[in-house]
């Protein structure tokens, strides 16, 4: 599924101007639980106005990192700043500029959609004179106006997800955190949420996403950070990650099994060669010059019946970097 994306460029970590405060600035962050090091000297910057994805296998430290960004967990050492506010010392200010949609939406299921929004408005001190209009506007945005008086327990998973998103945005936060935003919902609801996330970016808001759907990360995120065992493994745009760590993939079907695997592996620009029966999968660092050499070696032993060249999938890069699949 393809989602249209903005052509606007986002500065990299070293490209921040002196006048721009990062949305999130993590510096040498550590968190230990006894002898277990959940987050290990993590340094990471998220710029304002980008959709940033945080990926990692189970136990990688991403949930602990998010909890420290949200002020729910106190770091063992290091610092976290959200739009210039130190989370440890300015928790109240951080709560006002952060809108969170956790994986468990934590809605009051026996109450109506309106009552859920009304409670949240009071919790965040939205003025009474503005509250009704804000709730109506947000319910319209998440397409729940006609169900505003319905009990949330009667909602589908996608409707609950949209209501949770509307609730999180009611106080107009500058930073929105979404934990698995489309987990367990249908394709149509997923597309609606994707479109709205991109709309948030167009409004200048910063969106931090954790997701196990690599298609989602590819479609939405300006940049991705991959963490494993509490350490930052890589951070870049999805396309650059694929170029830097994957290279193109050449697949060949031959008439029979060939023996010249070592010759292919010895070619400059070859990262990996796998053979399964008469099928070869070759990962390269650039197909421009190496493909003719591959064809020459293979054709000396066997007829080539089919050849395809494709870009690597993001899950292949994730597996290469962490040694594990993101989703089992």
Query: Is the dihedral angle over the CA atoms 129, 49, 5, 250 positive or is it negative?
Result: negative
254 lies in the same domain as 221: no
Say what the pLDDT of residue 14 is: 41
Q: Tens of pLDDT along 275-315?
A: 999 999 998 875 457 888 999 999 998 999 999 988 777 87
Say what the pLDDT of residue 193 is: 84
Pairing of strands 270-276, 279-284: antiparallel
Say what the pLDDT of residue 246 is: 67
Say what the pLDDT of residue 2 is: 42
Q: Phi/psi of residue 204, each to 5°?
A: 90, 5
64 lies in the same domain as 29: yes
Residue 138 belongs to some domain of the structure: no
Q: Minimal CA–CA distance to 55: which of 230, 197, 210, 231?
A: 210
User: What are residue 276's DSSP bridge partners?
Assistant: 279
Size (the chain), residues: 328
196 lies in the same domain as 258: no
Q: Give the integer Cα–Cα distance in Å for 167 and 164.
A: 5
181 lies in the same domain as 294: no
Domain with residue 266: its CATH number is 3.30.70.100
The last residue of one of the domains, among 227, 242, 257, is 242
Q: Give the integer Cα–Cα distance in Å for 21 and 83.
A: 6
Q: Give the integer Cα–Cα distance in Å for 275 and 258.
A: 9
Domain with residue 186: its CATH number is 3.40.50.300
289 lies in the same domain as 237: no
Give the range among 223-232, 277-286, 317-326 with minimum mean pLDDT: 317-326
List the Cα angle 286/287/292 in 5-degree steps: 140
Give the rounded percent of residues in the chain with a pLDDT score beyond 70.
92
Residue 8 belongs to some domain of the structure: no
Segment holding 252, helix H or strand E: strand 249-254
74 lies in the same domain as 196: yes
SS3 73: coil
Q: Domain limits at 290?
A: 247-310
Confidence of residue 11 (pLDDT cuts 50, 70, 90): very low
Say what the pLDDT of residue 6 is: 37
CA 205 to chain CA centroid, nearest Å: 16
Say what the pLDDT of residue 7 is: 38
Give the range among 31-45, 146-160, 226-240, 288-302 with minimum mean pLDDT: 288-302
C-alpha count within 13 angstroms, C-beta hemisphere, residue 277: 2
Q: Give the integer Cα–Cα distance in Å for 301 and 255.
A: 9
Residue 18 belongs to some domain of the structure: no
Say what the pLDDT of residue 79 is: 95
Say what the pLDDT of residue 214 is: 82
Domain count, the chain: 2
Decide if pLDDT at 9 tops 50. no
List the Cα angle 292/242/64 in 5-degree steps: 160
83 lies in the same domain as 182: yes
Taking residues 123-150, what's their average pLDDT? 92
190 lies in the same domain as 230: yes
Confidence of residue 10 (pLDDT cuts 50, 70, 90): very low
Residue 266 belongs to some domain of the structure: yes
Neighbours of 279 (CB within 10 A): 13
Q: Minimal CA–CA distance to 167: which of 118, 209, 112?
A: 118
Taking residues 128-157, what's their average pLDDT? 92
The last residue of one of the domains, among 242, 264, 280, is 242
Q: Give the integer Cα–Cα distance in Å for 1 and 68.
A: 33
Residue 71 belongs to some domain of the structure: yes
Q: Tens of pLDDT along 89-120?
A: 998 899 889 998 887 778 999 999 999 999 99
273 lies in the same domain as 226: no
Decide if pLDDT at 8 tops 60. no
Residue-wise DSSP of 34-52: TTEEEEEEEEEEE-TT-EE
Q: Tens of pLDDT along 12-58?
A: 444 444 348 999 999 999 999 999 999 999 999 999 999 999 998 88
Residue 140 belongs to some domain of the structure: no
180 lies in the same domain as 297: no
Taking residues 209-218, what's their average pLDDT? 86
Residue with tokens 């064809």: 295
Confidence of residue 192 (pLDDT cuts 50, 70, 90): confident
252 lies in the same domain as 177: no
Say what the pLDDT of residue 286 is: 55
Residue 217 belongs to some domain of the structure: yes
Mean pLDDT of all residues in the chain? 86
48 lies in the same domain as 87: yes
Taking residues 114-129, what's their average pLDDT? 93
Q: Give the integer Cα–Cα distance in Å for 64 and 73.
A: 7
pTM score of the predicted model: 0.77
Residue 103 belongs to some domain of the structure: yes
Say what the pLDDT of residue 186 is: 78
Decide if pLDDT at 328 tops 70. no
Residue-wise DSSP of 186-248: -HHHHHHHHHHHHHHHHTT-EEEEE-S-HHHHHHH-SEEEEEETTEEEEEE-HHHHHHHHT--
The last residue of one of the domains, among 183, 218, 242, is 242
Q: Which residues contact 90 (CB under 8 A, 6 or more apart)?
A: none
Residue 57, class by beta-carbon neighbours within 10 Å (0-12 exposed, 13-18 middle, 19+ buried)? buried
């Amino acid at each position: 599924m393809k989602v249209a994306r903005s052509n606007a460029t986002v500065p990299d970590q070293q490209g921040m101007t002196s006048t721009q405060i990062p949305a999130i600035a993590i510096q040498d962050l550590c968190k230990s639980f006894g002898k277990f090091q959940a987050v290990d000297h993590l340094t990471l910057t998220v710029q304002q106005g980008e959709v940033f994805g945080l990926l990692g296998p189970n136990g990688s430290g991403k949930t602990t990192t998010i909890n420290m960004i949200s002020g729910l967990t106190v770091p063992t050492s290091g610092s976290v700043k959200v739009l210039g506010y130190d989370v440890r010392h300015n928790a109240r200010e951080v709560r006002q500029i952060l809108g969170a949609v956790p994986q468990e939406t934590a809605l009051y299921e026996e109450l109506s959609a309106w009552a859920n929004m009304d409670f949240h408005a009071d919790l965040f001190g939205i003025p009474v004179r503005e509250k009704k209009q804000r709730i109506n506007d947000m319910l319209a945005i998440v397409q729940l106006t006609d169900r505003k008086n319905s009990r949330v327990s009667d909602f589908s998973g996608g409707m609950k997800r949209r209501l949770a998103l509307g609730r999180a945005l009611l106080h107009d936060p500058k930073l929105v955190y979404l934990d698995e935003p489309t987990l367990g919902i249908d394709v149509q609801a997923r597309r609606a949420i994707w479109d709205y996330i991109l709309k948030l970016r167009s409004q200048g808001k910063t969106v931090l996403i954790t997701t196990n759907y690599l298609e989602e990360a590819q479609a939405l995120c300006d940049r991705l950070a991959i963490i494993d065992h509490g350490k930052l493994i890589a951070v870049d745009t999805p396309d650059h990650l694929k170029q830097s760590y994957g290279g193109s993939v050449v697949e060949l079907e031959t008439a029979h099994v060939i023996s010249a695997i070592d010759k292919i592996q010895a070619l400059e620009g070859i990262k990996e060669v796998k053979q399964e029966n008469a099928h070869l999968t070759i990962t390269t660092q650039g197909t421009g010059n190496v493909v003719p050499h591959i064809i020459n070696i293979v054709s000396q032993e066997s007829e080539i019946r089919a050849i395809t060249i494709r870009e690597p999938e993001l899950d292949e890069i994730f597996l290469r970097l962490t040694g594990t699949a993101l989703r089992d």
